[in-house]
Amino acid sequence: MANPRRILLTGASGFVAGHLVPRLRQAFPASELILCGAGHEALDISDDAAVQNLVARVQPEACVHLAAISAVPEARKHPDLAWQVNLHGSLSLGRALLAHAPACTLLYVSSAEIYGRSFTAGIALDETAPAAPMNTYAATKAAADLALGAMVGEGLKVIRVRPFNHTGPGQSADFAVPAFARQIARIQAGQQTPVLNVGALDPLRDFLDVRDVCDAYVACLRRAETLPPGSIFNIASGMPRRIGDVLARCLELAGVQATIATGTALLRPSEIPTASGNAARARDALGWKPNLAWDDTLRDVLADWRDRVATGT
């Protein structure tokens, strides 16, 4: 896709969008970006009529769907909202595109969480692994992933990406790496005693830098015209890291010593020992691979949280 005239982006006020928007502007300089989210054009993704009206008015040629209840604990706490936003909101968007902009390419951001119990195989999973979600968030994303894939038969031009854990500057402390960085920054600022409250440290996770993930999304749009509708891509490093080792590296990079305290409230009811992805398909079809050094990612997250703690934001 050389230069879609209009690119619609949902969830534009979120963490990923903060990194994706400048990349979209650079990749598609002639395209008009329609940003939907807090501080941008208002859109309640769970309001079907509002979604229909927006798509009919905008007539996008590409759409990146980021809007979601994206934190596992939040989805567990508010399951009805998670289903309404993650599944029904995605279906509303898909139906609206079919009705009003059928030539539009939809990039649906799914999640590697949908593989769930399939990770017990203990190997890096590719896109053929069965969806077997183990929490509400994963179930809602799996349902939307499958439903939008089924709509290909009705003419929907959708590409589904399944990113593994990604982090970077701007992410909320609802996720492991920024939660570590926030506490480390507070300790350095004298706002917290040198005790870090953490969840499970033994699981291994496939971590990425959000900027590498955004480059994969741009690559999908660039090659949209050559990709079969319904295409699925894992976005993964293929290198699982122990969460406790990530914490130890954060402390080392920050030059902080602290006592580690495991909080039961931070533990998941169902924890997968190892989650790793095979992204060979993305490498072959998109020419994508992660490029940023992991230590640089951690340094940037630590610096981001030092600034946020210092300014109280």
Domain of 181, CATH number, reads 3.90.25.10
User: Is 263 within a domain?
Assistant: yes
DSSP letter assigned to residue 25: H
Neighbouring residues of 135: CB distance < 8 A, sequence distance ≥ 6: 72, 75, 76, 113, 116, 268, 269, 270
The pLDDT of residue 262 is 87
pTM of the model: 0.95
Same domain, 14 and 137: yes
Please tell me the distance from the alpha carbon of residue 134 to that of residue 21, in angstroms, as a whole number: 32
The pLDDT of residue 215 is 98
Cα 15 to the chain's mean position, in Å?
Answer: 9
The pLDDT of residue 23 is 98
Q: How far from 223 is each of 150, 151, 185, 226, CA to CA, in Å?
A: 21, 20, 41, 6
User: Is 283 within a domain?
Assistant: no
Same domain, 30 and 60: yes
Same domain, 63 and 126: yes
Same domain, 232 and 124: yes
User: Is 25 within a domain?
Assistant: yes
The pLDDT of residue 313 is 83
Same domain, 148 and 190: no
User: Is 230 within a domain?
Assistant: yes
DSSP letter assigned to residue 89: I
User: Is 76 within a domain?
Assistant: yes
The pLDDT of residue 267 is 60
CATH number where 75 lies: 3.40.50.720
Per-residue pLDDT of the chain (313 residues; tens, 9 = 90+): 678 999 999 999 999 999 999 999 999 999 999 999 988 999 999 999 999 999 999 999 999 999 999 988 899 999 999 999 999 999 999 999 999 999 999 999 999 999 999 999 999 999 999 999 999 999 999 999 999 999 999 999 999 999 999 999 999 999 999 999 999 999 999 999 999 999 999 999 999 999 999 999 999 999 999 999 999 999 999 999 999 999 999 999 999 999 999 876 666 655 789 999 999 999 999 999 999 999 999 999 999 999 999 999 8
Same domain, 104 and 180: no
Give the closest residue to 212 by CA, choosing from 262, 161, 155.
161
Please tell me the distance from the alpha carbon of residue 297 to that of residue 136, in angstroms, as a whole number: 29
User: Is 61 within a domain?
Assistant: yes
Same domain, 258 and 125: no
The pLDDT of residue 3 is 85
Please tell me the distance from the alpha carbon of residue 226 to that of residue 232, in angstroms, as a whole number: 14
Same domain, 161 and 244: no
Same domain, 248 and 218: no
Same domain, 234 and 138: yes
- Work out how many domains the chain is built from and give that number: 2
Same domain, 77 and 180: no
Same domain, 69 and 185: no
The pLDDT of residue 67 is 97
User: Is 286 within a domain?
Assistant: no
User: Is 284 within a domain?
Assistant: no
Segments forming the whole domain that contains residue 188: 176-203+240-275+292-311
